[in-house]
Amino acid sequence: MVSTAQSRGSTAVSQEQPGGYYGPTGRRFLLVVYGLVVLGVVFVFSSSFPRAGRPIPYHSDPYWFFKMQLQHAGIGLIAMIVVSLVPLKWIERFSRPAFLVGLILMAAAAIWGRNVGDARCWIWGMQPSEFARIAYVAAVATLLAEGSINRRNTYRVVLPMIIATVLMLVVLIKQHDQGMALLVVLLALTFAYVGGARLRYLVPVGIAVLAATFVYCSTKPYIVARVEAWLNPVEHIRGAGNHILHMLVAIARGGPFGLGLGMSPDKWKGLPVPHTDSIYCVIASELGLWGAVGLLGLFVMVAVLTFKIARQSKSRLGYFLAAGIGISLTFQALVNIAVVTAVVPPTGLTLPFISAGGSSLVSSLIGAGLVLAVARHNQEHTGRRG
């Protein structure tokens, strides 16, 4: 069965010969993800030991963040393999309940959680929105698997998708998590396009979303301050502009070939949370331009391989699930890199597979597990045909 979206240049099915449990494309995807996780563990240690060495609250343990990242990487990799073994019909059955649970946890975090920066998005030591985002992708993929976005499917597909997106955005706005809200909007619009919505409808919707975003942001003083600092960081050097300038200096300091692993001076003072939001600056500083471009290339490979796995899928669910996870991970990486290079204002999004943090790393690996589940399904289907 071929989806309407696949007719937009995605109808071709790969003729690769069977090879391995996940197939050739799945194996390459797994290798790239594993490489990103290893790179993340290395640079979490490199970027965090100055902060972790402080007496409070890390008890002068420079390995604290490194050990936590290693632990979360182990949990996430196990979760990725387990999820990759789940049949697609189970994913279809449990994706919507999982999304509902994610929304409930997000609402609990908005009410009783703790603040991190301007956002109240943490509860019980985790950030539920990271997991809810993956569940949202899976839930929307199951909706689009039932039919394309058109008038005939208004009540079966279009309306439930709009409700799921609005609910997600309402809770994220309540949490003051504008970065994740931006990611969800980008996901929804892209899903709508690949799901068959026509551009003559999507363009006005996109314009309306931009207008609503502008009006909302203009009413929030802390967002206005961020945008003003981004537009003219020198004038706000004693505030948010200082962070923007330090990120740019750290990247420029690396030059073409970098200062060497562990040698970035900016992580000691100046860089905002160098082990999470601005870890890309540390990588650019220590590995140089070529290292930074190489990391960007790995994320491009993630996008290409997920879309290739999606195109190989014989089911609509597999197509939209793999493509949705690829879109989510790619957009998140691009937005994070755009922030640290001052292309867009700060959003608070982490770098997938790289930044410190259990919720970000484990949820990204669960998403990778869903892609591998599609790759395994593709391989089993090809094997049966062979």
By mean pLDDT, which of 6-15, 189-198, 224-233 is the weakest?
Answer: 6-15
The predicted structure's pLDDT at residue 6: 46
Instruction: Return d(Cα 7, Cα 196) in angstroms, integer.
Output: 9
248 closest CA partner among 232, 271, 228, 229 = 271
User: Residue 163: what pLDDT?
Assistant: 92
By the 10 Å C-beta count (0-12 exposed, 13-18 middle, 19+ buried), 7 is classed as exposed
Q: How confident is the model at residue 57 (pLDDT cuts 50, 70, 90)?
A: low
In sequence order, which residues have a C-beta less than 8 Å from that of residue 335 and are 6 or more positions away?
Answer: 179, 182, 183, 344, 347, 349
SS3 180: helix
* Mean pLDDT calculated for residue range 19-42: 89
- Region 99-119: what's the mean pLDDT? 84
For 45-107, the DSSP string reads: HHHHHHHHTSSTTTTT-TTHHHHHHHHHHHHHHHHHHHHHTS-HHHHHHHHHHHHHHHHHHHH
pLDDT of residue 18 exceeding 50, the answer is no
DSSP state of 331: H
CB 339 within 8 A of CB 279: no
Nearest-angstrom CA–CA distance, 330 and 319: 16
Average pLDDT over residues 238-242: 76
Q: Write out the two tokens for 328.
A: 């989510």
Residue 262: pLDDT over 80: yes
Under a CB-based contact definition with an 8 Å cutoff, are residues 39 and 354 in contact? yes
> Which pLDDT value is given to residue 16?
44
Residue 235 clears pLDDT 90, i.e. is over it: no
Region 284-311: what's the mean pLDDT? 94
pLDDT on residue 355: 92
Give CA–CA dist 117/29, Å, rounded: 34
pTM: predicted TM-score of the whole model, two decimal places: 0.88
In eight-state DSSP terms, residue 149 is S
Q: Give residue 246's pLDDT.
A: 85
**Which residues sit opposite 126 in a β-bridge?**
123
Could you give the CA distance from residue 372 to residue 320 in angstroms, rounded to a whole number?
13
Residue 150 CA to chain centroid, in angstroms?
28
Instruction: Specify whether the CB–CB gap between 148 and 157 falls below 8 A.
Output: yes
Q: How far apart are CA 158 and CA 195, in angstroms?
A: 10
Round to whole Å and give the CA distance between 301 and 228: 35
User: Among residues of the chain, what percentage have pLDDT more than 70?
Assistant: 90
pLDDT over 80 at 125, yes or no: no
How confident is the model at residue 299, as a pLDDT?
95
What phi, psi does 260 have (nearest 5°)? 110, 150
Q: Which amino acid is at 377?
A: H
Based on its alpha-carbon atoms, the radius of gyration of the chain, rounded to whole angstroms, reads 21
Rounded Cα–Cα distance for residues 258 and 240 (Å): 26
Write the pLDDT tens digit of every residue in 335-348.
Answer: 999 999 988 888 87
Q: How far is CA 160 from CA 163, 166, 221, in A?
A: 5, 10, 33
Q: How much is the average pLDDT of 353-375? A: 93
Q: Which residue has the higher pLDDT, 171 or 115?
A: 171
Give the whole-angstrom CA distance, residue 263 versus residue 165: 43
Least confident of 71-80, 115-124, 307-316, 357-366: 115-124
Q: What angle do CA 124, 276, 346 make, to 5 degrees?
A: 105
291-320 average pLDDT score: 93
What CA–CA distance (Å, rounded) separates 73 from 64?
14
